[in-house]
Every structure is written in C-alpha cells, then in structure tokens.
Amino acid sequence: MRSRMASVVRRTGAATSSLQSPLSAPAVVSRCLVHCDDLLQQQRFYGSAVTNEEAYSRVEKSHATWPRQLNTPLSELDPEIWDIIEKEKNRQWKGLELIPSENFTSLSVMEAVGSVMTNKYSEGYPGARYYGGNDLGHSIFVRSLREWLRVSFPQAAVLEHMEEISASRVFEAVALLVLRGDLVEFGYFVNVQSLSGSPANFQVYTALLKPHDRIMALDLPHGGHLSHGYQTDTKKISATSIFFETMPYRLDEQTGYIDYDQMEKSAVLFRPKLIVAGASAYSRNIDYERMRKVADKHKAVLLADMAHISGLVSAGVVPSPFEYSDIVMTTTHKSLRGPRGAMIFFRKGVKGVDKNGKEIKYDFEEKINFSVFPGLQGGPHNHTIAGLAVALKQCATPEYKAYQKQVVENCARFAKALIARGYDLVSGGTDNHLVLVDLKKKGVDGSRAERVMELAHIAANKNTVPGDVSAMVPGGIRMGKPVIFYSLHWRKQVT
Ligand SMILES: Cc1ncc(COP(=O)(O)O)c(C=O)c1O
C-alpha cells in the first residue's frame, strides 16, 4: 500500500492535493477498507500540507527510500534514456517525416498516455471486470464525453443513446459515436481494447473463422499488409497464413489500381470466408461497394482495414468503408493522430430478415469481444484508451477536419510535383495521404533511395511496387503527408 501511495506523491514542492481528494472523499473511504490502519495513517500523513522534501525525509526515517526514486524525473533517474528521447524529439522536429503510417500526436494525447491510467488493470468489459477500482476512470470518461457529444452530435437520439451508456460502459463505448456519425447510422459498435493493428486483425479472424478457413486480401508486394496474410514459396511469413489459408488479389500492373475483375474470378475458385478491403501502400480510394458484392456472392465477411486512412475517413475527405463493411478495423496512431492502438468496429443489431420474415441479427459482438479478451489479450491499456478518447474528441473539431483536408491536398500537389520531375507513380497519382513512387526507370532501388534520403534527414520508406521480386530490395519508395503538414514552411515548398 505504501509504495502505491508513494508513486503518486507530487513532484512539485506544493501540498499533495492530488492525494487528498481520492482519500478524503467519504464515498471512497467508506468503500475502501475503512478499518485499515495503514490507509488511515497515510490519509493523515499525505492529507497534511507537506512539501515533497518533507514527505521524503519523513518516510526515509523509516528506511522507505523508494518514494524519492519513484518521483525522480527521467532526466535525473536515467539520463541515457532521456538523452535518446531528446535526440529522437530533435530528429522528428528537424527532419522531414514522410512516412505515411506515422503522425505527430498531440500534447494532450501524450499527457493522457503518460498518466496514472497506465497503473490500472481492468481486465474484462464494462460491468464485468476482474478488478475493482474502475469507477473513477469511468466517470472521467463520462464527463468528458458528455461535453464533447453535446457539441459534436446535437441530435437528441445520439444524446439519448449516450445516456444509456452508463458510467460503467464508457471505457469501451468511447469511440462509439465518432467518425462522422457513420457508426450510429450503420449500427456499429466498437471494441477499443485491442493493442495494435496486427493483433486486431488476428482477433477478427480468430473470432469469425475456424482454423484454415479462407481469407482473401491484397497481396503484400502489391500494397497489402502482413497481417492480411503473406507467404513465400518456401515459408509462411505471417501467422495469418499459418493459421488460415490465404489467397491474394493484386493490382492491375498496367494501371496500378486494384484488379477487381481478377479478384472476383479468384473468389469464385477460392470461395473465401473473409475478404479484407484495405492496404498499407495503396494511393487510391477503395471500391467498397464492389467488394461488398463479391463478399455477398460468397457469403463472406467484409473486413475493411482502414488503418492508414481512418483520419481521412473521420474528416470525410475519402470514402468511408462503414456503409459496405461488416467489420472495420483501424489503428489509432496513423492518420487518425492518436496513441498507438487499434479499434475494431463491428455491426450490431438487425442484419436482415429470413424467408419467413423473421429478423436475423448480427452475432459479431460476443465473438469479437471474446476473441480480444480473454482470447488473445489480458488487461486493456487504459492509458492508451484514455489517449484515444482525447484523440477522438479532436476528430470532431473544425481544426481536425481542416488538417485532414490539407493532408490530402498537399499529397496531391506532391504527386504532381514528382510527376513533373519525371518520377513514375504507381497508379499515376493519389487520392489519399500517400504516393508510391516506382523508381525502376530511375535506375535506383527503394533501399538506396531510402538511405540517401535518411542521410538528408528525410524519413521515408522503401516499398515493393508491382513487378518486384524482392521485398528486401524493392523498386519503390512510399511517401506520405500526415506529418509534413505541420511544417508550414515545407507546405509552401511542395508546390
Ligand atoms: C493496413 C494496415 N493494417 C494493419 C497494420 C498493422 O498495424 P500495427 O503496426 O499497429 O500492428 C498496418 C501497419 O502498418 C497497416 O498498414
């Protein structure tokens, strides 16, 4: 108990007010161990207006040296790591960040991620936790979300819905009503516990498929992602390909666009149970409607992996996958501009009617939640979920929408400038936040280009382009604009 208290002693020399409120609040004290002498002693001790120095010297008399250590800033406690972080900050600030899967998250998100929420276990789901002490976190979310929703979603129905989401549900409901209201309109619910994009995709497969069921997705060398399945002639590289059977669809090498006709033909032979619509290195909008038709033909689930574009989707500057998908997965740290994590949106409610007119309901909720926890994870990362709430609050602001619009406009200008300088772009341009440059005609490969750019303090990444045989020495370079927008100076120069 003592060490836990010590970890929240304030760093300033001021009175320890952060401790007073939780411990002096009658509700908390009555609920927590009223008869515990230790707790009451601490309440007396920390409740008095002592400086940190006084507090340390008092506890150090009883040989408790750890409170001081627990409250020592990083720069003093571990200068080596502090120095590395400072250098990285410097690199991010001074260099040009052109990696389309990266972003600079906001100060407020970083505050939430670096907060005491990292201390808290809350395995389970709202109303069914394996740990006590989760009420405070919930009520913080309820308050901030209510305020935000009143501004962003004034429709009464939405507010009523929010009222329904009682305090104990908000941890996971936090993202329910963002992303342009699509979630409400198309009846989605969300799990925000998933730790990152690859595990989230695996959680979806595990929830909805049996081992060795069939998945179709964009081939990795054509812009897909490892977590959609990847294997070479000799080895299954992605666990998705180990535990499930995967069949890629590809780009039309002439146009650089997804070859939907070929995908449709392959699907007839392969009969997939799940089709993934989404990419890591595809600069064009995806035809979700078309993919829905293919999925329907084979009674397959359509999973939209919008990891790269969710920020653009939430601002309405690229087409949204929600209308046509069954499941939508996104990471939260790319264009969305939040903390590192993921969200899995799934349809809930009525799917249709059977031939007798009886309602058929989606059965995703229980399966997906179970697959995330206890299937493949333990305790949720509450600091990340707190950061995500903060990031999603920003999604509803005009500043955020303007930023995402600018990202797409900058990228279009960037594509034009590259073409004018004689570079080949896969698909000949871009609709979103990234460009994929085919360097073959320039007589250089992506690895070398990446290294030379790095030496000039420009961070981009090598990428396979159609026709490549090696992923290690690919023929292209992928560049994107979510970060670069922050430098107004650069913005003027890209044209
Ligand atoms: C389309 C897509 N899905 C999933 C992922 C995996 O995300 P993570 O790196 O968080 O596992 C990525 C990462 O780049 C991605 O681009």
Residue 15 has pLDDT above 80, yes or no: no
- For residue 20, the model assigns a pLDDT of 36
Residue 369 has pLDDT above 80, yes or no: yes
Of the listed ranges 95-109, 128-142, 199-213, 278-292, the one predicted with least confidence: 128-142
- What is the enclosing helix (H) or strand (E) of 22? helix 17-24
What is the set of domains in the chain, with CATH numbers?
1-72 (no CATH), 162-396 (3.40.640.10), 402-493 (3.90.1150.10)
**Alpha helices (H) in 328-445, listed in sequence order:** 364-370, 382-395, 398-420
Q: How far is CA 105 from the centre of its chain?
A: 11
150 is a catalytic site residue: no
Average pLDDT of the residues in 35-42: 52
- For residue 28, the model assigns a pLDDT of 43
Ligand 1 near 305 CB (within 6 A): yes
- For residue 159, the model assigns a pLDDT of 61
Ligand 1 center–CA 106 separation, angstroms: 20
Beta bridge partner(s), residue 218:
249
Average pLDDT of the residues in 322-337: 96
- For residue 117, the model assigns a pLDDT of 85
Quickly state the pLDDT bin for 460 (edges 50, 70, 90): very high
- For residue 170, the model assigns a pLDDT of 65
Ligand 1 near 281 CB (within 6 A): no
Task: Looking at the CA of residue 333, tell me the nearest atom of ligand 1.
Answer: 10
- For residue 143, the model assigns a pLDDT of 63
As a whole-number percent, the residues of the chain with pLDDT over 70 amount to 79
- For residue 165, the model assigns a pLDDT of 66
Residue 35 has pLDDT above 80, yes or no: no
Of the listed ranges 305-309, 398-402, 467-471, the one predicted with least confidence: 467-471
Quickly state the pLDDT bin for 45 (edges 50, 70, 90): low
Cα torsion 98, 100, 106, 111 to 10°: value is -110
More confident residue, 54 or 209: 209
- Name the closest-CA residue to atom 16, ligand 1: 280
Average pLDDT of the residues in 349-374: 94
- For residue 184, the model assigns a pLDDT of 75
Ligand 1 near 198 CB (within 6 A): yes
Of the listed ranges 65-74, 472-481, 485-494, the one predicted with least confidence: 485-494
Of the residues 273, 334, 478, 481, only one is catalytic, namely 334
DSSP 3-state percent helix, strand, coil across the chain (nearest 5): 50, 15, 40
Task: Looking at the CA of residue 278, tell me the nearest atom of ligand 1.
Answer: 1
Q: Which residue has the tokens 């069949």?
A: 247
Ligand 1 near 278 CB (within 6 A): yes
3-state secondary structure of 309: coil
Residue 135 has pLDDT above 80, yes or no: no
Check whether the bond before 154 is cis (ω within 30° of 0).
Answer: no
Quickly state the pLDDT bin for 8 (edges 50, 70, 90): very low
Quickly state the pLDDT bin for 27 (edges 50, 70, 90): very low
- For residue 176, the model assigns a pLDDT of 62
- For residue 75, the model assigns a pLDDT of 97
More confident residue, 207 or 7: 207
- What is the enclosing helix (H) or strand (E) of 296? helix 288-297
Average pLDDT of the residues in 470-488: 77
Please check whether residue 486 is in contact with residue 95, taking contact to mean a CB–CB distance below 8 angstroms. no
State which of 331, 340, 344, 464 you would mutate to test the pocket of ligand 1, scoring each by most atoms of that ligand within 8 A of its C-beta.
331
pLDDT tens for each residue of 144-186 = 666 666 665 555 566 666 666 665 566 666 666 667 778 778 8
Of the listed ranges 123-127, 308-312, 394-398, the one predicted with least confidence: 123-127
Closest CA to 252 of 264, 241, 267: 264
Closest CA to 403 of 491, 286, 494: 491
- For residue 32, the model assigns a pLDDT of 42
Ligand 1 center–CA 226 separation, angstroms: 8
123 is a catalytic site residue: yes
pLDDT tens for each residue of 210-268 = 999 999 999 999 999 999 999 988 999 999 999 999 999 999 999 999 999 999 999 99
Task: Looking at the CA of residue 198, tell me the nearest atom of ligand 1.
Answer: 11
331 is a catalytic site residue: yes
pLDDT tens for each residue of 273-282 = 999 999 999 9
Per-residue CA distances from 197 to 229, 230, 231, 257, 489 (Å):
13, 16, 19, 24, 33
- Name the closest-CA residue to atom 15, ligand 1: 280
pLDDT tens for each residue of 385-427 = 888 888 988 888 899 999 999 999 999 999 999 999 999 999 9
Ligand 1 near 42 CB (within 6 A): no
